Amino acid sequence: MNDLAQLIKAGDLEGIAALIISKLPQLFTAALIVVIGFLISNLIGKLVVKGMQAKGVDPSIHSFIRTIITLILKFVFILSALSTLNIDVNSFITALGAAGVTAGIGLQASISQLASGIQILANHPFKSGDYIDVGTVSGKVHEIKMMYTVLITLDNKRVIIPNSHITSNNIVNYNAEDRRRLDLIFSISYDADIAKAKQVILEVVQKNNLILTDPEPIIAVKEHAASSVNLACLIWCPADEYWNVFYYMQETVKLSFDENNISIPYGQLDVHITKE
């Protein structure tokens, strides 16, 4: 390489051509190493993904791990190709490290995202398919990338969240446990029969097989509000059935109250007009 630099400096075109021709076998070998190395790297990446699938590893991190492995392997093959060209690999690595430090100063945000991605991968606070809250964003985990995580909201919007935002905020994972508790409030008028209303709610609960009997449901008076007596209904269900049970209770309790003549009050305002 020093000879090439001297020939270029001297402007010796014939010497440059002769040197390139003499180096063609080495250049061909280096190119072959890179091409075959990249193919092998991609193949190994695919095999790693298949291995993770066979082991039941969370699908959301497949792409993350595959990218890291293929990049490392490609870098190794590039160094091997450079060594065939009699390039000092140690000097190359040193120069690359110095360039990396310089680039790192300007890419602090990106490095932070990558580090956060590794932290998520190591701590595993959620998996693909979990429904989570991160700050003000909620959604089902679709995929974990090197720099960001993809969520799908209930109305099918794709939300891309930087990994550093996830690791710097509280994470609420609604699927981390097998069961969830629904805390429901049903209001009845002060004239209604409290015992009857509680019995109606209990019958609605007992008709749904998705509602667990252990722990037992709790139905009790929660508070005496301004216009109503509020009954608390605390029931447990499988985490994946939370919304199905929620909507069932909201609709069926209303219909059952109507059938049993239990009135649900609404806010009222009495206005008194006085004359002086």
For the chain, where do the domains classified as CATH 1.10.287.1260 start and end? 2-106
At the topology level, CATH places domain 179-259 in Alpha-Beta Plaits (3.30.70)
What pLDDT score does 127 carry? 84
SS (H, E, C) 145-158: CCCEEEEECCCCCE
Asked if residue 103 has pLDDT above 60, the reply is no
Query: What is the pTM (predicted TM-score) of this model?
Result: 0.58
Residue 71 pLDDT > 90, yes or no? no
Helix (H) or strand (E) holding 219: strand 218-224
Measured at the CA of 33, the angle between CA 38 and CA 111, to 5 degrees, comes to 45
State percent of the chain over pLDDT 90: 35
Per residue, the 3-state secondary structure of 239-269, as one string, reads HHHHHHHHHHHHHHHHHHHHHCCCCCCCCCC
Kindly indicate the confidence band of residue 31, based on its pLDDT and cuts at 50, 70 and 90.
Answer: confident
Asked if residues 139 and 131 have their Cβ atoms less than 8 Å apart, the reply is yes
- DSSP-derived secondary structure for 133-186: EETTEEEEEEEE-SSEEEEE-TT--EEEEEHHHHHTS-EEETTSSSEEEEEEEE
The whole-number average pLDDT for the span 5-21 is 60
* 219 touches 231 (CB < 8 A): yes
* 16 pLDDT more than 80: no
pLDDT grade for 147, boundaries at 50, 70 and 90: confident
Question: Could you count the other beta carbons within 10 Å of the beta carbon of residue 76?
Answer: 12
Burial of residue 195 (number of CB atoms within 10 Å: 0-12, 13-18, 19+)? exposed
Q: Quickly count: other Cβ atoms within 10 Å of residue 213's Cβ.
A: 11
* Candidate ranges 15-29, 96-110, 111-125, 184-198; pick with highest mean pLDDT: 184-198
Residues 6+ apart with CB under 8 A from 79: 89, 92, 93
Would you state the pLDDT for residue 108? 60
Q: At what angle do helices 194-206 and 242-259 cross, to 10 degrees?
A: 140
Q: Which comes out higher in pLDDT, residue 60 or 128?
A: 128
Top-ranked range on mean pLDDT: pick from 24-33, 35-44, 141-150: 35-44
Topology classification of domain 2-106 = Helix Hairpins (1.10.287)
10 Å Cβ neighbour count for 232? 15
pLDDT tier at 15, thresholds 50, 70, 90: low
Query: What mean pLDDT is predicted for residues 224-242?
Result: 92
Closest alpha carbon to 32 in 88, 91, 80 = 80
- Residue 29 corresponds to which amino acid? T
pLDDT digits (tens, 9 = 90+) for 174-226: 888 889 999 999 999 999 999 999 999 999 999 999 999 999 999 999 999 88
> Average model confidence (pLDDT) for the chain?
82
- What distance separates the 2 farthest-apart alpha carbons in the chain? 115
Beta-bridge partners for 140: 131, 152
Averaged pLDDT, 17-35: 76
Q: Return d(Cα 74, Cα 72) in angstroms, integer.
A: 6
Residue 10 pLDDT = 58
Class of domain 125-173: mainly beta
Residue extent(s) of CATH 3.30.70.100 domains in the chain: 179-259
